[in-house]
């Protein structure tokens, strides 16, 4: 073993290398590694959370869809009911109107017929009187024979 001053030189070099490594090499490297590890851990946690959120959102969407469908069915049902009701009402109303109009028409018809008949009767009476006058060649005293005329009119 020939130990000599080289040992001192190497000792100093060793100390300087270790100090340099401790100050300028190790901290940035290990910090970068640890920061990345944290980043990755955070990213994994975030992805887990997102997955859970997604499942929740999907459940919620499903529920909402179900609700919406039920509501839509309700509304359609109601609309159908109302439609039927309205149709019914309209039919009823139309029927009533029709009856009404028919009744009025009938009444008018009746009145007209009566009036016409009256008029006809009067004209026939006049015609009968005129015919009778011609037959008799003389005028008839209307007042004296009015009972015959009345009877005639009645018979027509």
The residue ranges that bind other proteins (CB under 8 A) are: 1-11, 13-15, 17-18, 20-22, 24-33, 35-36, 39
- Rounded least distance, CB 16 to other proteins, Å: 8
User: CA angle 95-99-104, nearest 5°?
Assistant: 150
Give the pair of three-digit tokens for residue 84.
């039927």
Segment holding 140, helix H or strand E: none
Would you say 5 or 144 has its CB closer to other proteins?
Answer: 5
Backbone φ/ψ region at 103: left (φ over 0), alpha (ψ -120 to 50), beta: alpha
Would you say 29 or 109 has its CB closer to other proteins?
Answer: 29
- Rounded least distance, CB 41 to other proteins, Å: 13
- How far is the C-alpha of 29 from the C-alpha of 42, rounded, in Å? 20
- Rounded least distance, CB 36 to other proteins, Å: 5
- Rounded least distance, CB 48 to other proteins, Å: 21
Q: How far is CA 138 from the centre of its chain?
A: 86
Would you say 9 or 131 has its CB closer to other proteins?
Answer: 9
Would you say 26 or 131 has its CB closer to other proteins?
Answer: 26
Buried b (16+ CB within 10 A) or exposed e, 3-23: eeeeeeeeeeeeeeeeeeeee
């Amino acid at each position: 073993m020939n130990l000599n001053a080289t040992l001192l030189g190497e000792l100093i070099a060793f100390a300087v290398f270790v100090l340099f490594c401790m100050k300028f090499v190790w901290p940035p490297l290990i910090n970068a590694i640890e920061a990345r590890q944290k980043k990755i851990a955070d990213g994994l946690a975030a992805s887990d959370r997102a997955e859970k959120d997604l499942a929740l959102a999907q459940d919620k969407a499903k529920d909402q869809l179900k609700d919406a469908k039920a509501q839509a069915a309700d509304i359609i049902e109601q609309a159908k009911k109302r439609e039927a009701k309205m149709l019914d009402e309209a039919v009823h109303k139309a029927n009533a109107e029709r009856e009404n109009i028919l009744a009025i028409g009938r009444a008018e018809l009746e009145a007209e017929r009566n009036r016409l008949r009256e008029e006809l009767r009067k004209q026939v009476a006049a015609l009968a009187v005129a015919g009778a006058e011609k037959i008799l060649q003389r005028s008839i005293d209307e007042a004296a024979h009015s009972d015959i005329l009345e009877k005639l009119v009645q018979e027509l």
